[in-house]
């Protein structure tokens, strides 16, 4: 696949199947991944061949974003900007990617871990409700995160509005 419009169609297919919602802290749904990978591979080849094609860089950046590679998404978007295309939408995306990237990094949790925490909290809160503490979040962290990292993760969760279990569920992992 080396035609840009075909690659774009493939990317859009993957984006539609990804079901990531607006914050994109979640991994794309499994059925989306092959499309996103094909699009990314093709776009990478394409920009190697046509390094001044801003649209190709932009699409590549979107593919990386959907695959949750925020650093790569940022670098590729910077290439678009360095080619001279500095419209407002792109600058807004740049700011958004920077923010997502740093949040993600601060949490130091994989999307699989976030999903596991989400399921854990849903079950516990359904049974016992939220008592305005992080008791179940801490339980999950005890089992799944190195104890030396725990307080850092708790701070990162609070930075994102998670001061009790129901807020972690609502503001961070969901």
User: Which residues contact Zn ion (rule: CB under 5 A)?
Assistant: 130, 164, 166
Q: How far is the CB of 165 from Zn ion (least distance, A)?
A: 6
Q: How far is the CB of 138 from Zn ion (least distance, A)?
A: 14
- Which is nearer to Zn ion, 9 or 166 (by Cβ)? 166
How far CA 10 is from CA of 33, 38, 161, 163, in Å, comes to 11, 7, 36, 40
Q: How far apart are CA 170 and CA 48, in angstroms?
A: 41
- Which is nearer to Zn ion, 90 or 170 (by Cβ)? 170
- Which is nearer to Zn ion, 12 or 166 (by Cβ)? 166
Q: How many CB atoms lie within 10 A of CB 111?
A: 16
Alpha-helical segments (H) within 50-110? 54-66, 70-82, 88-107
Q: How far is the CB of 164 from Zn ion (least distance, A)?
A: 3
């Amino acid at each position: 696949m080396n035609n840009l419009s075909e690659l774009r169609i493939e990317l859009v297919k993957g984006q539609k199947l990804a079901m990531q919602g607006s914050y994109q802290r979640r991994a794309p749904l499994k059925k989306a991944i092959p499309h996103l990978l094909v699009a990314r591979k093709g776009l990478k080849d394409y920009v190697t061949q046509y390094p001044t094609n801003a649209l190709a860089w932009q699409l590549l950046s979107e593919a990386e974003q959907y695959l949750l590679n925020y650093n790569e998404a940022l670098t590729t978007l910077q290439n678009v900007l360095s080619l001279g295309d500095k419209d407002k939408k792109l600058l807004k995306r740049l700011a958004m990617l920077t923010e997502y990237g740093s949040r993600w990094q601060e949490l130091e949790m994989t999307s699989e871990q976030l999903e596991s925490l989400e399921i854990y909290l849903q079950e516990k809160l359904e049974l016992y409700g939220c008592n305005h503490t992080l008791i179940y979040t801490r339980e999950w962290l005890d089992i799944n995160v190195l104890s030396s990292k725990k307080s850092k993760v708790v701070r990162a969760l609070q930075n994102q509005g998670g001061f009790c279990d129901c807020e972690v569920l609502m503001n961070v992992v969901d």
